Amino acid sequence: MLDHTVIKSTLLNASLIDILYACMLAFLFGVTIALTYVRTFSGLTYSRAFIQAVIFAPLLTSVAMQAIGDSMARGLGMMGAFSLLRFRTNIKDSRDMMFMFAALASGLACGVYAYQIALVAVVFFCLAVFVVHNIPFSVEADYDAVLRLQVANQPESQKLIDLVLAKYARRFSILSLKDAAQGQRLDLSYQLRMKDSGVQSLIISDLSKINSARDIHLFMQDKAHEV
């Protein structure tokens, strides 16, 4: 059983070695969770920034928990400091959200020096991810191609793209949408699940017929096609 009085005493009298040990373990747990994410990722591309966030999250959470200790005043002060920041990152994938939560939880455990809890939780979480990754309904990748292109910032352009993609893809979704050329153009990224193999050149040909389409790149799992 976890002795909370011991944790409280340790937090109040933490030595430099204790702090370094907690930070080191938090970092290692973050790396372990990030590697598990990469090894079990079933899409075509993942965010490098997200991987780095998963690695750094346990470390920062550990530092925050050690700084707060058992002080309510410190906790309220830290909440006030964080309220001044605006976090605009939106994690749309529920799987990504679970990995981030696992990273934060491991850092929290390290921050209160509950190393056994952190170790068991991270090991069990990673093993569970590998098990789920290899069961039948999760083996096949949802998407097998990524499309990137620029078009004029007009609703008609996106409608034309959707018509082309609906013709050749079983399903597709927008990965990212960014302004380009001072808002006059859009930089779009799609992930696709093709209906048939060998239609890459047809997709590029049809997209090239859209007047405002530029810099068309189609990346498959084993090769890339571009215009």
217 pLDDT higher than 90: no
Number of structural domains found in the chain:
2
Tokens in use for 165? Answer: 């993609």
Same domain, 178 and 131: no
Identity at 151, one-letter amino acid code: V
* Structural domain of 102: 4-138
- Helices 16-39 & 48-68 angle (0-180, nearest 10): 150
What was the pLDDT predicted at 66? Answer: 85
Same domain, 123 and 27: yes
Domain-terminating residue out of 100, 115, 138: 138
Task: For 99-110, write each residue's pLDDT tens digit.
Answer: 999 999 999 899
Which range of 65-74, 115-124, 203-212 scores highest in mean pLDDT? It is: 115-124
Q: What is the pTM of this model?
A: 0.58
Same domain, 133 and 153: no
Higher pLDDT, 74 or 202: 202
Same domain, 26 and 111: yes
The CA radius of gyration of the chain, in Å to the nearest whole number, is: 23
Domain-terminating residue out of 122, 138, 154: 138
Instruction: Tell me which H or E stretch contains 136.
Output: none
Instruction: Point out the least confidently predicted range of 58-72, 134-148, 171-185.
Output: 134-148
Same domain, 198 and 117: no
What was the pLDDT predicted at 119? Answer: 95
Domain-terminating residue out of 138, 170, 186: 138
Task: For 128-163, write each residue's pLDDT tens digit.
Answer: 999 988 876 554 556 578 888 888 888 888 888 889
Same domain, 200 and 160: yes
125: exposed, middle or buried (Cβ count in 10 Å: 0-12, 13-18, 19+): buried
Q: Which residue has the tokens 């990722």?
A: 41
Contacts of 188 (CB under 8 A, 6+ apart): 147, 148, 149, 150, 151, 158, 161, 174, 176, 177
Taken in order 7, 3, 113, 131, the sign of the CA dihedral is negative
Higher pLDDT, 211 or 76: 211
Average pLDDT taken over every residue of the chain: 80
The answer to whether 145 touches 222, Cβ cutoff 8 Å, is: no
- CATH number, domain of 208, equals 3.30.70.260
Same domain, 119 and 173: no
3-class state of residue 94 by DSSP = helix
Tokens in use for 71? Answer: 């002080």
Contacts of 91 (CB under 8 A, 6+ apart): 97, 100
Best CA proximity match to 121, nearest among 108, 132, 135, 134: 108
3-class state of residue 227 by DSSP = coil
